[in-house]
């Protein structure tokens, strides 16, 4: 039901609405038009590509309507009940869907910039790849909704319900895929910051940690783009501890460091027994020495050979060990204490 004809009013360049020769501004009897449209909004209606720009169609009730590619920009559909409706790639700029029941609706690829979704029910709705920049989603209920790769810059999250990191995963069982659209690094950084604040306010600290990590990742990419030297320490912190959100990375780094140095000591034959110079070092001895050096315990039963390089090598491992242990304590405190 795509419409491409212009409004009949002289000088008006706006497209005429579906089932009308005029745009909304120039329709004489708006109430009659709205009633006519409500009559075609029946269950399973095919309104693909229809044009209802700026139309006031409050409290419409229908299920499984096909509105893919339709233009509902600045239309007022507040209080609507549109279960299972297909809004794929629809133009919904500034649309008013406040207090609407949009359960199971498909908004994939829809442009919902500045849309009003306040108080809407979006249970099981699919908003993957949709644009929600500057949208009002306050008090909206996102239970089991899919928001993967959504553009959500400057959206209003205040009192949004059931909004968690899992909503941003491509699949609820693949939480590691959680992300918003990162097409614009600066806007993505700000959006992650907004999500972090929302999760902190609602006491979801793990989800806040995810948003914080992604925010810092975007910040690092900005530094890289600007060729800022702060990119290097930012990259290191991301790799070592996930900016204080991933303590497991420090544990993995510690074990890798201990193993790396033990192999290095073995290949260089850099360690000897302090009790007997004729003692034959085994692989387990090198691993043991690397461990006590990393942890700065230094029992003294094994020592580096009298060589400046070997001593410097052992000292470097001790320094790295002290640094990583301190970083680990900091990360644990940040991760598991109340923020």
Quote the distance between the C-alpha of residue 17 and its chain's center. Answer: 37
Fold (topology level) of 246-336: Helix Hairpins (1.10.287)
- pLDDT-derived band of residue 301, with 50, 70 and 90 as boundaries? confident
Task: Give the per-residue pLDDT at 330.
Answer: 85
The structure tokens listed for 254 are 């510690």
**Cα 159 off chain centre by:** 18
**26 contacts 7 by C-beta, under 8 angstroms:** yes
Average pLDDT over residues 31-52: 93
Q: Is the pLDDT of residue 3 over 60?
A: no
Q: What is the DSSP letter of 16?
A: P
18-27 average pLDDT score:
91
Which residue ranges make up each domain of the chain? 246-336
pLDDT of res. 86? 97
Q: What is the dihedral of CA 168, 172, 178, 181, to 10 degrees?
A: -40
Q: Which pLDDT band holds residue 125 (cuts at 50, 70, 90)? A: very high
Closest CA to 222 of 263, 253, 251, 186: 186
pLDDT band at 2 (very low <50, low <70, confident <90, very high): low
Q: Are 307 and 270 in contact (CB under 8 A)?
A: yes
| Mean pLDDT, the chain, whole residue set | 92
**Length of the chain in terms of residues written:** 339
d(CA 160, CA 149): 18
Determine the 3-state secondary structure of 124 from DSSP. coil
3-state DSSP assignment of residue 102: coil
- φ and ψ of 14, to 5 deg: -80, 145
CA dist 90 and 86 (Å) reads 9
């Amino acid at each position: 039901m795509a419409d491409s004809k212009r409004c009949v009013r002289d000088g008006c360049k706006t497209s005429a609405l579906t089932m009308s020769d005029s745009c909304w501004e120039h329709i004489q009897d708006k109430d009659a038009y709205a009633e006519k449209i409500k009559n075609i909004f029946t269950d399973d209606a095919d309104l693909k590509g229809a044009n209802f720009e700026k139309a006031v169609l409050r409290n419409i009730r229908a299920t499984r309507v096909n509105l893919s590619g339709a233009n509902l920009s600045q239309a007022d559909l507040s209080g609507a009940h549109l279960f299972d409706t297909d809004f794929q790639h629809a133009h919904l700029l500034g649309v008013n869907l406040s207090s609407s029941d949009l359960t199971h609706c498909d908004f994939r690829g829809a442009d919902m910039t500045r849309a009003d979704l306040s108080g809407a029910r979006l249970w099981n709705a699919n908003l993957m790849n949709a644009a929600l920049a500057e949208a009002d989603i306050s008090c909206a209920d996102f239970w089991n909704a899919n928001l993967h790769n959504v553009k959500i810059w400057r959206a209003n999250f205040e009192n949004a319900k059931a909004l968690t990191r899992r909503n941003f995963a491509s699949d609820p069982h693949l939480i590691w895929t959680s992300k918003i659209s990162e097409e614009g690094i600066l806007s993505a950084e700000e959006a992650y910051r907004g999500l972090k604040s929302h999760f902190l306010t609602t006491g979801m600290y793990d989800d806040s940690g995810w948003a914080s990590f992604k925010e810092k990742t975007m910040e690092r990419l900005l530094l890289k783009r600007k060729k800022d030297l702060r990119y290097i320490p930012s990259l290191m912190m991301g790799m070592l501890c996930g900016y204080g959100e991933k303590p497991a990375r420090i544990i993995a780094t510690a074990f890798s460091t201990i193993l790396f140095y033990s192999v290095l000591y073995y290949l260089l034959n850099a360690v000897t027994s302090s009790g007997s110079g004729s003692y034959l070092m085994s692989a387990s001895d090198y691993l043991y020495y690397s461990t006590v050096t990393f942890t700065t315990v230094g029992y003294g039963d094994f020592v580096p050979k009298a060589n400046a390089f070997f001593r410097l090598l052992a000292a470097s491992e001790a320094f790295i060990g002290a640094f990583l242990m301190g970083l680990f304590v900091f990360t644990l405190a940040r991760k598991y204490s109340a923020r």
